[in-house]
Structure 1
Amino acid sequence: MSTEPDLLYSEEEEALRAAVRDLLTDQCTAADVLARIETGAPHDTALWKSLAEGMGLAGLLVPEARGGQGATHREAAVVLEELGRSVAPVPYLTSAVVATEALLACAGDEAGDLLARLASGRTVGALAVGLHTAPGGTPPPVRWQDGALHGTVTGVADAAVADVLLVPADDGALYAVDAADATVTPASSLDLTRPVAAVVLDGAPGRRLGDARPAVRRALRAGAGLLASEQLGLADWALSETVRHLKERKQFNRPVGGFQALKHRLAQLWLEVVHLRAAARSAADALATGTGTDVAVAVAQAYAAPVAVRAAEEALQLHGGIGMTWEHPVHLCLKRAKADAIAYGTAGAHRTALAPLVDLQAP
């Protein structure tokens, strides 16, 4: 039996992609995202309801016996590709992937009940760990004292829209805290479609879910691995949109895309996006099969961030003057790509983690 990863999309995955893209085309246009950002409330709750409840996507990674769809990380990766293309302001990565994976590492009725609620989409969860934390990283612990939680966690993505927070504490346990029992203060964020916030716990009651260390590691590893698929979606959109623009834009009575220098830039970018697709698909497949996961995730994240950022920067430059305006959506793509570059560990952090896994120690 072959152990090689299957990087191709199955018919079911392509059908899922088409369904998600159709929904996003209808409900998440660039104009919609821009208008929502200007209101100061970027999260699109109506879109989240359509994705989570209408299509059942919030429970993709949850077994059917626990109220989910029983799918794998490969299907979740396809969803994230499409969400990345649209820079959709929904808490899919943070709730349906990261928080869900943390709960899947916990046993007991409390974790099971909460997992079913997240799978339904009616409850949004967030792991109370800074978005910058890499797999294997140690988040600053929150104190468990006198039966309550005390401490502050900064840079928590989508905390403002979460109903429940999963908090690792200094006693080694992971606790569920109702968001209403915490103080969530929004922070300035480059990517306005995935805002971060500081979470202050001042005597907040918590319900023990399980051991924090394996749960947090599993959650961050899945988040990093599937983030590469979101970055792939961003890069693919940036390339496709730039090619379309350069075919239509004319200078000296000929399409701008026909100039040799621009052809070379686009060809190089196309190669990088193709390589990114292979890395992202490998990470998703490794997460789904449990084979070579640490290496595949580290490779994907070491490669994904620079490519996504470069694709967005090239799109901005090659769109000329209109790329610099607030009205054109390319700036949304660039901001998400830049923010993703430090999410769940930088490319450098993942290269450092990768070296000992493949016996390439630095001198």
Structure 2
Amino acid sequence: MERSNKGDFVSKRKRKTATTSTRAKKKKPILASLSSLPNDLLVMIVARVPILYYRNLSIVSKSFRSMVASPELYKVRSLLGLTESCLYVCLRFGLGSCKWYTLSSKSSGGGYVLGRVPIANDSPCNVGLGLGNSDLVAVGSDIYNIDKADKTTPTSSVSILDCKSHMWRKAPSIPMEIESLSARVLDRNIFVFGRRYHQDGSWKGSLQVFNTDTQTWDIPRCVLDQASHTFTIDGNLHAVNIFGWVFAFNSKQRRWDLVEIYPSVGEITYSKSYCEIDNVLYSVSKDGALRWYDTDKTRWKDLKGLVGLPKLPNPFAGYGFYVKLTGYGGRKMMVFWSTYFSIPFSPMETIYCAEIALERRNGDCWGKLEWYDGVLSVLAGTKFVKVLSVTL
């Protein structure tokens, strides 16, 4: 990504000038000539275009819109070794349905913007309506929406958003109904943790594993009670119970091992503002700083060398609805946050995005701010549901 000047995001409609009109006239013959090329050749050309520009291509014409959604294009990209990470952001406006956006290059002037993703058969999503109603995870080019049963859906459902065609499809439902579900991905398997109500009035922990390659469910033995928050660290699945005890899942022996007792790592699961990148767990502290978890010293450390990034919202104040982290394209972190808390009583708020390059040096984690800028203006109170990185 190219560096973008920081500053407030203001949507402006520029006046058409003689210069821009001339440029527009010049572009039309170029696009027309491209469209007249044989389809195979055109696919080879578009396959080499960075994924950040695909949204701009899709609004040029119907033919380009069809092409950027075609399986053939992504097969060519894969054969050429041109697969890239692409960011998808799920937002909820009030109590309405979820809306999807993707980080794209601006059509002019440089910089980046969150562009709306057109999804024809939009799937209902309960993420963000209540804690543990649903969860979203990404595997390859697919986003999985795992919903627990409610009054409208008698069984827990699983839907898959194909980020190539932007169409939802159904997947096999969860075998056992659970509450307070939390999902994590390891080795293309989705681990869904939650709790089940038993007839004796007690709640028992439940772990169900979905193999995304075979599209089948497995139910390992799970003995954790009263635990619903999960995260990954050092490439292993961890769960936190109501007492703050942290357990690691031993996949070979199918058991949970106690690894730590409150408070240092378990607290971040309540903030919803954390991610794992290259086997390191990162989160946002209460004072709005980025930090990482040192497993050798079992404590949090500030990310060193990070200069120029504004203070982030306290993730515990809004349960992580206003600041999100995700890994991106290897050793990079993308941070999204809103101005909801910093500009009270404003009818609008700005969503910002920052790209941070990460490095391990002398036993510490260092960060370098590549750029940050406003990428979307939304109604006040808009919440982040999830930020996911898919591979296209």
Taking structure 2 as the reference length, the TM-score comes to: 0.26
Larger proportion of strand: 2
Q: State the structure with more CA Rg.
A: 2
Larger proportion of helix: 1
Task: State the structure with bigger RCO (CA 8 A, min sep 6), 1 or 2.
Answer: 1
